[in-house]
Chains A and B, each alone.
Chain A
């Protein structure tokens, strides 16, 4: 597609429920990233995929968080047993390797999660 697409754009859930957030990267982008942005804060790295493997998942805050990616396309971020501190905007980005491999990340509009 023309840009990185994320769904849902807004999700309100009750504490303790599981949520799934979806990211459709730009076609042909092999790298995919998930970040979390709490209100008024910076971007916190969660996980990075190259293809469908995750060489860096160091940012996942707890074992309630997991992510998977199918081939070089869609990725799903799952949060189990949500807590109020999980409330944030979850941003997905994708990129295509160039030269030495460093990328320009293109971000989606984000999924705003509110846990009541």
Chain B
């Protein structure tokens, strides 16, 4: 069975600080996708990124960056120069490429950016 663990339940930082959200996953399959979603206070989940297990290249999109390390089964998410609008709950998730295409979520990390 697949499992995603986000050990940080809540994080609070001051605006402009950098912050890293941790994600560790478990699966016996060798082919899978990893995702990050954002859930702002409005409640609607917003897709941020999908990364496949074949590609360990890090990715940067503006202030967001993702570090995928297969050796440690981790897919961490860093926000640089955080802003108040980044305040949300962030979910990491995993989906197998073969077989059941169920998206398994971690418990989420509530990020609060204080002005």
**A residues apposed to B, CB below 8 Å:** 31, 33, 35, 41-43, 45, 48, 50, 55-56, 89, 91, 93, 100-110
> For the complex, what is the distance from the CA of A110 to the CA of B43, rounded to whole Å?
8
Asked whether any CB of chain A lies closer than 8 Å to the CB of B91, the reply is yes
- Look across to chain B and name the residue whose beta carbon is closest to the beta carbon of A98: B50
Chain B residues close to A by CB (< 8 Å): 31-33, 35, 37, 43-45, 47, 50, 52, 91, 95-98, 100-108
Q: Is the CB of A45 within 8 A of B43?
A: no
- Tell me if A102 and B33 are in contact (CB < 8 A): yes
Counting chain B CB atoms within 10 Å of each CB, the highest count among A45, A102, A104 belongs to A102
Which residues from chain B contact A109 at a C-beta distance below 8 Å?
43-44
Residues of A within 8 A of B45 (CB): 91, 93, 107
Assuming A104-B47, A109-B43, is B100 touching A33 (CB within 8 A)? no
Q: Kindly report which residue of chain B lies nearest to residue A48, judged by CB atoms.
A: B102
Check if A42 sits within 8 Å of B95, measured CB to CB: no
**8 A-B pairs with the lowest CB-CB distances in the bound complex, closest first:** A107-B45, A42-B107, A43-B105, A102-B33, A100-B97, A56-B100, A102-B97, A109-B44
Residues of B within 8 A of A108 (CB): 44
